Amino acid sequence: MSTIAQPFDFTQQQVFTKQRGLWSQAFMRLRQNRLAVISGAILGFILLLSILAEAVPAVRRYDYDENDYSVIDQKPSMDHFMGTDNLGRDMWSRLLQGTLFSLKIGFLAEAVVVTLGISFGMLAALGGKKTDQVVVWITDMAYAFPDLLMIILFRQVLFGRDWPIIGAGDPQVPGFSGVLLATVLAISFVSWVTVCRLVRGQILSLKESDYVMAARCVGASQWRIVRSHMLPNTLSTVIVAVTFGIPTRIFAEAALGFIGLSVPAPFASLGTLVNDGYAKIYTNNLLVIWPCIMIAVLMLCFTFLGDGLRDALDPRTRK
């Protein structure tokens, strides 16, 4: 059947195409990136598994500090999925406990980093010339410090005090012990400057953009411009920075653990597990291999997810 094309026919077609916003489009693009989806799924699985292991005894099967001297340095078996260490502790439960600890540090430290970074970045970009100079000077100074050495020093300063919430005492926030919070603060105090620079640069360039000027012309208030025009446009940069930031924080904590400055025994973090295992590499190499694999998997997954998010959120890199 032949139909004669009517004027405004195309509008009818448009009615049926679903309208997609920025986030919906970004999510669609992310879904097409197979590697990023798989990485995200693996990360979700690891996170879920480690939380379940903390909550449900049936998942962790043994306690992380439960010694059984009749099964020392066992190879993986049905009783102990990943074998046991030199004190007869189950590696499966220790690895999951350490993973959860490291993930907590990664997420929490990154949250502090992003909060500090966005606040100071916006302060620098919008607070006038004097404020800008001060913030830029502080970030320049932070770059002069050797990162990991400063984290070590900060950690020693914060740790072992009777401070409220952080410090060595019993966990006052359930699930977040004092040493965890001290490590988180030490890592974030050193690392926030990168996000700060990023946000400052982004907002400075947005300030000159046409649509901000247009908004100003129609009389939008400063706060409205910042909230509904500038912040959403820095968000994609920040999200990508967060995805790459979390593994960096996990890495920093693991480096602390590797030199013996993370959680005290019997607790485990991925870094302390590597450290403990490395000392016994000649007798039982599985002890070091499991946590190494876990760190490598976490790092890889966050990298792939970050790559995927960057491609998805930045329409300019669309192929």
Which residue among 68, 176, 303, 314 contacts another protein (CB under 8 A)?
Answer: 303
Element (H, E) at 77: none
121 contacts 195 by C-beta, under 8 angstroms = yes
Judged by CB under 8 A, the number of residues near another protein is 41
User: Any contact of residue 103 with another protein (CB under 8 A)?
Assistant: no
**Region binding another protein by CB under 8 A among candidate stretches 42-50, 108-116, 223-231, 247-255:** 247-255
Q: Does residue 62 belong to the site contacting another protein (CB under 8 A)?
A: no
- Residue 274's identity, in one-letter code, is V
Rg (CA), the chain: 25
Q: Is 156 in the site for another protein (CB under 8 A)?
A: yes
Separation of alpha carbons 180 and 188, rounded Å: 12
Establish if 259 lies at the interface with another protein (CB under 8 A). yes
Residues numbered 107 to 146 that lie near another protein (CB under 8 A) are: 140-141, 143-146
* Closest by CA position to 250, among listed 102, 147, 99, 150: 102
Residue from 160, 169, 201, 266 in contact with another protein (CB under 8 A): 160
Q: Which amino acid is at 252?
A: A
Q: How far is the CB of 26 from another protein (least distance, A)?
A: 22
- 251 Cβ contact partners less than 8 Å away, ≥ 6 residues apart: 295, 299
Cβ–Cβ under 8 Å, residues 195 and 117 = yes
Q: Which residues would be at the binding site for another protein (CB under 8 A)? A: 140-141, 143-150, 152-154, 156-157, 159-161, 247, 251, 254-255, 258-259, 261, 271, 274, 277-278, 281-282, 285, 288-289, 292, 295-296, 299-300, 303-304
